[in-house]
Amino acid sequence: MLDLFPAITTAFHHGLTSLPAIIWLSTLPIIIILCIPLLIPYFNPTPPPLRGCRRLGLSPSQQSNLHDEYAPKYTHGVPCTAADESGHPAWRIKALFTYPIKSCTGVELETAEVIETGLKYDRLFCFAEFIPSPPPPSSTNTNTNTITITTSPSPSPSPSPSPPTSHWTARTLRDRDFRNLALLRPEIWIPDPTSPSYSPTLPEIQSNGVLIIHYPRLSTNPLTNLLQRLHLLPTTTSFTIPLTPPPSQTHLFPLTPVKIWKDTPLAYNYGHLIPDALRALLTYDTTTPPQLRRPLTLFRECETHHREIFRCAPRKTDIGFQPVTGFADAYPLHLVNMASIRDVARRCAGDIPCLSVRRFRANVVVQGPGRFEEDGWKRIRVGGDSSRLSSGRMSGSESESESGSVETGVEIHTVCRTIRCKLPNVDPDTGIRHPSEPDRTMKSYRKIDAGDRTNACLGMQLVPAVREFTLRVNDPVSVLETGEHFYIKMLAPGEKVEGV
């Protein structure tokens, strides 16, 4: 038996050195290269649809409504009574976006439900960083050269302010170390009773749907990076969270105060669901050593702890309810005008050749009005017959035409201009922050509001006159009332509003 091994070895060696074997081995790399495209789906498979749910928003094969946003036709306005070649009203909704996670990628919609806080699912979640309370000052004076100066006592010393305490504070693209928030791409999946896999007992249904969060894979391994560039390894990864804490697991999502501007609403803490790799991505650019970085978590707004809006907004006596918002900066809806964006883009084209409207993170993008015409809007109507509503004679949520038919539409208050920070400096596709643009350009000619002379204005903040309705792409936009705006920074003596 042992005598067979030398013979087998000799035959194997002879086979490898034969001409057919040499030809086969030389063509093997070519065969492997040709097979790579066939193997890619197995290395980077597409996840199956979630059970009993459907994906909200445009389909992957559907073209964005902003696909032609750089077209010259958007650089100027058109008469409000005109119609375009497709028969749509000239002044209309161009695109709709909801942003499930504050400062992350938006979800584009054809039809959007509006609830009292704004577009449904808009700014439903936000990331927050834990800020520890500062250590108490040392009672030991180590300065041996201290000079003591005696003065007369103050007649009525004012009470000392309460010492700052540890807290969670919301983080956005405004914050220097969190530009990578732009790279997170959420997907909203909502229950679909028509799905063959639908069942009320599914966890996805009991949580009223789920949010899939896609984010880039970070790797310092050169081989891994090469395989990712060749699409042999996925460049992104994802995880899933419930849209609402499941009824049987509410103890896992404790209600916790989170500071957003001047408010501290209670929100559900989703921290136990965040992968460590995502935390590493979001703090990748920070100059703080990893072991000293502050804790980061994800919060979901709580419907019973919304923030009431008073500054510039209509009151309960005007519309029947006091406006509220969740994690949005200040108001339920945000509108921008295509012509206004293109005017800014033209002025800073040398630094940013393609300034996308997506940098300004609006819910409602309108086309038709001339540049900055929206600055003077006080009330608008969305929907209905734009040819009659443009005269400004109608009010309320419905109006009756001469023939007796009802022209539906929703009245919306344009309560103030949007005061701009440097958030639009971040490219929504790359997360790269431009050092000065478009903030510098806007400040050069758009510091137009007497209520805030230090910042530029672009876009309008909206408060609907009804709590629930639906917006659709191509809905007509009509102006009911125009007037002056004044961005009020001070609510009361000493109470400063941070901004919009």
pLDDT digits (tens, 9 = 90+) for 2-35: 454 455 455 445 554 565 656 656 666 666 655 6
Tell the residue number behind the tokens 């999946």, with chain if given: 189
Is 462 inside a domain boundary? yes
Asked if pLDDT for residue 100 goes beyond 60, the answer is yes
Is 338 inside a domain boundary? yes
Q: Which residues contact 114 (CB under 8 A, 6 or more apart)?
A: 120, 332, 333, 464, 468, 469, 470, 471
Q: Which helix (H) or strand (E) holds 26?
A: helix 19-43
Is 396 inside a domain boundary? no
Is 314 inside a domain boundary? yes
- What was the pLDDT predicted at 345? 98
- What was the pLDDT predicted at 233? 75
Is 156 inside a domain boundary? no
- The total number of structural domains in the chain stands at 1
Confidence of residue 210 (pLDDT cuts 50, 70, 90): very high
% the chain with pLDDT above 90? 62
Is 138 inside a domain boundary? no
Mean pLDDT score across all residues of the chain? 83
Average pLDDT of the residues in 55-74: 95
How far is Cα 368 from Cα 495, in angstroms, rounded to an integer?
39
- What was the pLDDT predicted at 56? 97
Confidence of residue 84 (pLDDT cuts 50, 70, 90): confident
Could you give the 3-state DSSP secondary structure of residue 301?
strand
Query: Which amino acid would we find at residue 144?
Result: T
Tell the residue number behind the tokens 């790799």, with chain if given: 277
How far is Cα 326 from Cα 202, in angstroms, rounded to an integer?
28
Asked if pLDDT for residue 246 goes beyond 60, the answer is yes
Task: List the structure tokens of 167.
Answer: 């807290």
Beta bridge pairs of residue 461 = 334, 416
Q: What is the DSSP letter of 151?
A: -
Asked if pLDDT for residue 272 goes beyond 60, the answer is yes
How far is Cα 380 from Cα 464, in angstroms, rounded to an integer?
9
**Domain with 65 in it:** 51-133+165-386+408-482
Asked if pLDDT for residue 342 goes beyond 90, the answer is yes
Asked if pLDDT for residue 496 goes beyond 90, the answer is no
Beta bridge pairs of residue 126 = 299
Is 145 inside a domain boundary? no
Q: Which residues contact 411 (CB under 8 A, 6 or more apart)?
A: 379, 380, 381, 395, 396, 397, 464, 465, 466, 480
Is 34 inside a domain boundary? no
Say if strands 364-367 and 377-382 run parallel, antiparallel, or are unpaired: unpaired
